[in-house]
Amino acid sequence: MTKRGLASVAPEGAPSNNAGFAGGRTTLTYADRLSMKITVQTKAGARTFDCDPNEKLLYAGLRQGLALPYECGTGTCGTCKARTVSGPLKPGWRAAPGRSYLKEDRGEFLLCQETAAGDCTVHVPGHAPAEIASLPRPAYHTGTLGAYARLTSDVVSFTLAVDPGMNFVSGQFAVCAVPGVEGGRAYSMVNDPGQTQTLEFVVKAKPGGKLSEWIFAANRDRTRMRVFGPLGRAVFRPEENKNILCIAGGSGIAGMMSILADAGGAGYFAGHRGHVFFGVRTAADVFYLDRLGAFAAACPGNLEIAVALSEGPAPEALKARHPALRFQTGFVHAVAAAAMAGKYENIVAFVAGPPPMVDGALRMLIMEARLSAKDIRYDKFG
Ligand SMILES: Cc1cc2nc3c(=O)[nH]c(=O)nc-3n(C[C@H](O)[C@H](O)[C@H](O)COP(=O)(O)OP(=O)(O)OC[C@H]3O[C@@H](n4cnc5c(N)ncnc54)[C@H](O)[C@@H]3O)c2cc1C
Ligand code: FES
């Protein structure tokens, strides 16, 4: 263990650098003023990095430039599986769904949940995808919530003024931790990518969900939260020169908005085609239609945006208000499958939303569209 320079440590009683990502504990004791050395063994060799007290191993490694494997960053997917070789780990969220992928009797654990109680050596199987290394390095930020707005009865949007500013790529997300809610939650940035002081998010209520209940209970303007990001590999890379297919369920449209802003702003649709399918249940659940309509109207012929309502046809008045959009009936992946038949040449697909919708879309893209894994990017919101 290495004693950290006291100048870099918050005073007694002040929030730690990673407060809110550490099981709710926010006070440093003298004994905590030590940073741990974590050695990661991979097929490519061993690397050592520092890990703050109560900091998740994944976040510590990523912020120091290690290309560690991960997907959700918040305990659900199991992608960040690693194995203890030596040293004491502190268990994180016991009920994390990602633990179902582990053989815990063999020392396996989730890098995004566990913290270290001393210097540790861990083994990470396989290779982390190479593109992680080419994306902006994540860091801790303080966020101040603003522009809180209800978009539908169960969807809110808000901005976060982040300090320091963040540089992100369209399609990425950040993990946000709010006062009184244990653990972080991943939210995809909606706004234009690049270096920015302001992030924009859209959150859909999850019945019984802890952060949902917190955010829907009151207008949260001016609340401060902790943010770690940017994260995520489901990103738009214009240099790939691919046509774009987006399939989104509910708030899954968040990252697609950023991709459309990015691609549209750069004139990408002058030379490429874009197909967007946005699924919700009923006409009362739609949001962002003005912005989507403006994207489609700015790229006539090359960017087609369809809104799929799973519980019945769209009212004529809604169609008349949004002439640049197409309205269809059915589950969004089925609507996309029917519309896209024969149009999969040179496509990269982005999928985001609730797990059953994402699974349906992935099945369709693999079995029917025959897209390769490198051309399918997804975020499963659960
Ligand atoms: C990559 C990604 C991007 C996402 N983007 C969006 C988005 O843009 N908009 C949107 O509405 N939703 C998004 N989600 C879903 C979002 O992160 C939340 O799962 C959702 O808002 C429900 O949160 P909740 O607190 O209401 O529900 P809860 O059921 O209370 O919590 C849901 C999630 O929070 C984490 N969690 C819960 N309890 C703990 C704990 N004790 N310790 C640590 N972690 C815990 C877990 O990841 C869990 O799955 C995204 C998810 C992922 C993985
Ligand atoms: S990245 Fe750790 S469980 Fe998903």
Ligand 1 binding pocket mutation candidate from 100, 185, 203 (most atoms within 8 A of CB):
185
How big is the CA angle at 122 (ends 72 and 6), to the nearest 5 degrees?
85
| pLDDT above 80 (res 33) | no
217 and 304 both lie in a single domain = no
| pLDDT above 50 (res 5) | no
Distance (Å) from CA 381 to ligand 1 centroid? 7
Q: If we measure between CA atoms, which residue out of 143, 292, 341 comes closest to residue 227? A: 143
Q: What is the pLDDT of residue 296?
A: 97
pLDDT tens sequence across 244-272:
999 999 999 999 999 999 999 999 999 99
| pLDDT above 80 (res 128) | no
pLDDT tens sequence across 194-213:
999 999 999 999 999 999 99
Q: Which pLDDT band, with edges at 50, 70 and 90, does 44 fall under? A: confident
- CB 89 within 8 Å of CB 115: yes
376 and 243 both lie in a single domain = yes
For residue 204, give the CATH number of its domain.
2.40.30.10
**Percent over 90 (pLDDT), the chain:** 86
129 and 146 both lie in a single domain = no
For residue 122, give the CATH number of its domain.
3.10.20.30
**Residue 164: C-alpha distances to residues 144, 227, 275 (Å):** 11, 10, 35
Distance (Å) from CA 101 to ligand 1 centroid? 18
The ligand with the least distance to the CA atom of 380 is: 1
Number of domains in the chain: 3
Q: What is the pLDDT of residue 26?
A: 44
| pLDDT above 70 (res 25) | no
Q: What is the mean pLDDT of residues 171-191?
A: 96
367 and 297 both lie in a single domain = yes
75 and 30 both lie in a single domain = yes
Written as six digits, the tokens of 144 are 């101040």
Q: What is the pLDDT of residue 136?
A: 96
258 and 210 both lie in a single domain = no
Q: What is the mean pLDDT of residues 3-32?
A: 40
173 and 294 both lie in a single domain = no
User: In terms of DSSP H, where are the helices of the chain?
Assistant: 57-63, 131-134, 210-217, 253-265, 289-298, 316-321, 332-340, 355-363
166 and 210 both lie in a single domain = yes
196 and 123 both lie in a single domain = no
Instruction: Give the C-alpha separation, 174 to 195, whole Å.
Output: 14
Domain end: 179, 205, 231, which one?
231
Q: What is the pLDDT of residue 92?
A: 92
Q: Which residues contact 59 (CB under 8 A, 6 or more apart)?
A: 18, 21, 73, 112, 138, 140, 228
197 and 270 both lie in a single domain = no
Q: Which pLDDT band, with edges at 50, 70 and 90, does 20 fall under? A: low
Least confident of 26-40, 50-64, 169-183: 26-40
83 and 195 both lie in a single domain = no
| pLDDT above 50 (res 117) | yes
Domain end: 92, 108, 134, which one?
134
What ligand 1 atom has the least distance to the C-alpha of 185? 17
Q: Residues with Cβ within 6 A of ligand 2?
A: 70-73, 75-80, 98, 110, 112
Q: Which pLDDT band, with edges at 50, 70 and 90, does 21 fall under? A: low
| pLDDT above 60 (res 18) | no
260 and 374 both lie in a single domain = yes
Angle, in degrees to the nearest 10, between helices 289-298 and 253-265: 30
Q: Which residues contact 171 (CB under 8 A, 6 or more apart)?
A: 188, 232, 234, 235, 236, 255, 258, 259, 350, 377
End-to-end CA distance of the chain: 36
| pLDDT above 80 (res 376) | yes
Written as six digits, the tokens of 340 are 């896209």
What ligand 1 atom has the least distance to the C-alpha of 202? 9
Domain end: 185, 200, 231, which one?
231
| pLDDT above 50 (res 10) | no
What ligand 1 atom has the least distance to the C-alpha of 75? 47
As a whole number, the mean pLDDT across the chain is: 91
Ligand 2 binding pocket mutation candidate from 71, 102, 378 (most atoms within 8 A of CB):
71
The ligand with the least distance to the CA atom of 76 is: 2
Q: What is the pLDDT of residue 30?
A: 42
Task: For 34, list phi and psi in degrees, rounded to 5.
Answer: -135, 140
Q: If we measure between CA atoms, which residue out of 140, 343, 350 comes closest to residue 253? A: 350
Q: Which pLDDT band, with edges at 50, 70 and 90, does 131 fall under? A: low
For residue 325, give the CATH number of its domain.
3.40.50.80
| pLDDT above 70 (res 11) | no
Q: What is the mean pLDDT of residues 319-346?
A: 97
DSSP state of 100: G
Q: Which residue segment(s) compose the domain that 191 sits in?
A: 139-231
Distance (Å) from CA 59 to ligand 1 centroid? 17
Q: What is the mean pLDDT of residues 51-56?
A: 95
